[in-house]
Amino acid sequence: MIERIWSGWRSAYVTDAPVRSAPAASRSDPDDAGSVFTRILNSGASDVETHIVHRSTTCFVICNLFPYTTGHVLVVPYRAVADLEQLPGDETSDLWSTVADTVSVVRSVYRPDGLNVGLNLGRPAGGSIPDHLHVHVVPRWTGDSNFMMAVSNTQTLPESIADTTAKLTAAWAVA
């Protein structure tokens, strides 16, 4: 398991996040506030506070609070759906168009050597929020694992989430 030097707030997320096996559409608990993404959208907090860097018609781009690397963002439909098949054509089109735009913006800001783009559908596939699909866009650099990873299984992240949010938001404004 990878440890992150600055992620002391993760424990609140892990202990508060409910374990779900049913998609959001099949839940009947009216007290359930939905996925973490739904809670963020309904929080009333500003995009700066929530680290949302871009909004399109049917989805948004948000900084990952538990990034693999600096610049790791998520493209998320506004509607909580568990699988791609649950998105109608217009939402599918907007999602993938926003993913392509996100790749361009991340490349322009961070100049990575490459990128990982993908999603995990369902908890067995690695999905930590299985009832609200999201596409990861992760910039990668040759040699981005260093001695900290090798000797202590710890990842260092050289930029705060607030700085990442500011850089990517500014880049979207001119994209």
Show pLDDT as tens, one digit a residue, over the chain (175 residues). 665 555 544 555 545 544 433 333 333 343 457 889 999 999 999 999 999 999 999 999 999 988 888 999 999 999 999 999 999 999 999 999 999 999 999 999 999 999 999 998 888 877 788 899 999 999 998 877 654 454 555 566 678 888 899 999 999 988 7
Closest CA to 73 of 148, 6, 171: 171
Closest CA to 23 of 117, 158, 174, 133: 133
Distance (Å, whole) CA 113 – CA 69: 13
- Evaluate whether 3 touches 154 at the Cβ level (below 8 Å): yes
HEC string of 45-98 equals CCHHHHCEEEECCCEEEEECCCCCCCCCEEEEECCCCCCHHHCCHHHHHHHHHH
In this prediction, residue 20 carries a pLDDT of 39
The CA–CA distances, whole Å, from 15 to 2, 12, 26, 96, 112 equal 18, 5, 23, 32, 34
Catalytic residues: 134
Assign domain 34-174 one CATH number from 3.40.1280.10, 3.30.428.10, 3.40.50.10300, 3.30.365.10: 3.30.428.10
- Write down the domain spans for the chain: 34-174
* Pair of tokens at residue 29: 């608990």
This prediction has a pTM of: 0.76
In this prediction, residue 4 carries a pLDDT of 56
